[in-house]
Amino acid sequence: MTRDKNRVAPKVWLITGCSTGFGRALAEAVLKKGDEVLATARQPEQLRALIEHYPETAKAVRLDVTSSQDIQAAVDTAIATFGRIDVLVNNAGHGLIAALEEVSDVDIHRFFETNFFGALRLMRTVLPVMRQQGSGHIVNMSSTAGLVGFGGSSLYCGAKFALEGTSEALAKEVESFGIKVTLIEPGAFRTDFNGRSLAAAELSIDAYATVSGASLQWFKQMDGKQPGNPLKAAQAIIQAVESPHPPMRLALGTDAMSLIQEKLSGVKTDLDAWRQVTVSTDYVDSNSEVIVG
């Protein structure tokens, strides 16, 4: 692989979940443009072909995002290998189709460990590095389900909603340090999300057959037919990172755009319909009688 000698200061990316899907497509696109990547996966041997093709600019390490030791080791390796971390992409995770009643406490904790707390651990570990650099960009892979609730996906939506709120607040906390935060909200993309990366509840309750059962069937039927192109998504993410004014949220896919617009319209409808009740809960001004309940 020939490095672009005219490229000044290539960015260093730490990307989780690079074995397949968005993570793999993004790692390949970033390396192709001449940046450097610490690519991570629970089974780093799956990244061998990628590393062999870009031996000077790519390194693979094992990373289970539920392990604080793995996370610290990955960050240390990135610094030792490339000297800095410019972009952290929290991509690792998986789906879960189940109504809330259909999951156990153990499943709930395990799911959030991977899909929410793992991203938090990575951000908390990388943030001191970026603060010291005075720059950095955190890219969190959310979902349309990070803004829109879908029946049969209460846990998945819960984890993504949590990631959205954390990211939005974090952006305000670190803005003065030169660190940017972007949420990526894809719709249905042709990755293995609908297949290998999609889990279902072990307990199936008949009453939810038309909710979680129907949702699982839809995902299986759509596998391999999703409208979104992961290669184009990778280019869109790179464009956002390279922008001097990156978006807080970047929806990807026509379906994502439609669903999010519908959600925003619904929020506005409720606000308008209940406006009088909403404003009636304020204290009255000092010249009026105040009733303290």
Query: What digits encode the pLDDT tens for the residues 91-100?
Result: 998 888 888 9
Distance CA 234, CA 161 (A): 22
- Tell me what the mean pLDDT of segment 53-76 comes to: 96
Query: What digits encode the pLDDT tens for the residues 180-224?
Result: 999 999 988 776 654 555 566 677 788 888 777 667 666 666 676
Tokens of 263: 């959600």
Q: Does the structure show a pLDDT above 70 at 74?
A: yes
284 or 181, which is more confident:
181
Catalytic residue among 19, 54, 59, 142: 142
Contact between residue 183 and residue 161 where contact means Cβ atoms under 8 Å apart: no
The confidence score (pLDDT) of residue 220 equals: 67
Residue ranges covered by each domain of the chain: 12-255
The confidence score (pLDDT) of residue 224 equals: 60
What angle, rounded to 10 degrees, do the helices at 118-133 and 68-82 form?
Answer: 30
160 in catalytic set: yes
270 or 288, which is more confident:
270
Which amino acid makes up residue 109? Answer: H
Tokens of 161: 């909603």
Is the entire prediction scored with pTM above 0.85?
Answer: yes
The confidence score (pLDDT) of residue 216 equals: 66
Catalytic residue among 160, 167, 208, 212: 160
Percent of the chain with pLDDT over 70: 86
Length of the chain: 293
Tokens of 223: 């596998």
130 or 6, which is more confident:
130
Distance CA 97, CA 219 (A): 9
Query: What digits encode the pLDDT tens for the residues 125-184?
Result: 999 999 999 999 999 999 999 999 998 889 999 999 999 999 999 999 999 999 999 999
Dihedral angle at the C-alpha atoms of 183, 92, 14, 180, nearest 10 degrees? Answer: 10
Percent of the chain with pLDDT over 90: 72
Distance CA 157, CA 112 (A): 11
Among the listed ranges 27-31, 189-193, 271-275, which one has the minimum average pLDDT value?
189-193
142 in catalytic set: yes
3-class SS string, 119-153: HHHHHHHHHHHHHHHCCEEEEEECCHHHCCCCCCE
Give CATH for domain 12-255: 3.40.50.720
Q: Average pLDDT over the chain, rounded to whole?
A: 89
Q: According to DSSP H, which parts of the chain are helical?
A: 21-32, 48-53, 68-82, 105-112, 118-133, 154-174, 214-222, 230-242, 254-273, 275-279
Catalytic residue among 11, 54, 153, 156: 156
Instruction: Please classify residue 284 by burial: count the beta carbons closer than 10 Å to its beta carbon, then call 0-12 exposed, 13-18 middle and 19+ buried.
Output: exposed
The confidence score (pLDDT) of residue 3 equals: 45
Distance CA 125, CA 82 (A): 17
156 in catalytic set: yes
Give residue 5's pLDDT band: very low, low, confident or very high (50, 70, 90). very low
The confidence score (pLDDT) of residue 225 equals: 67
Q: What is the DSSP string of 75-108?
A: HHHHHHHHS---EEEE----EEEB-GGGS-HHHH
- Tell me what the mean pLDDT of segment 2-9 comes to: 52
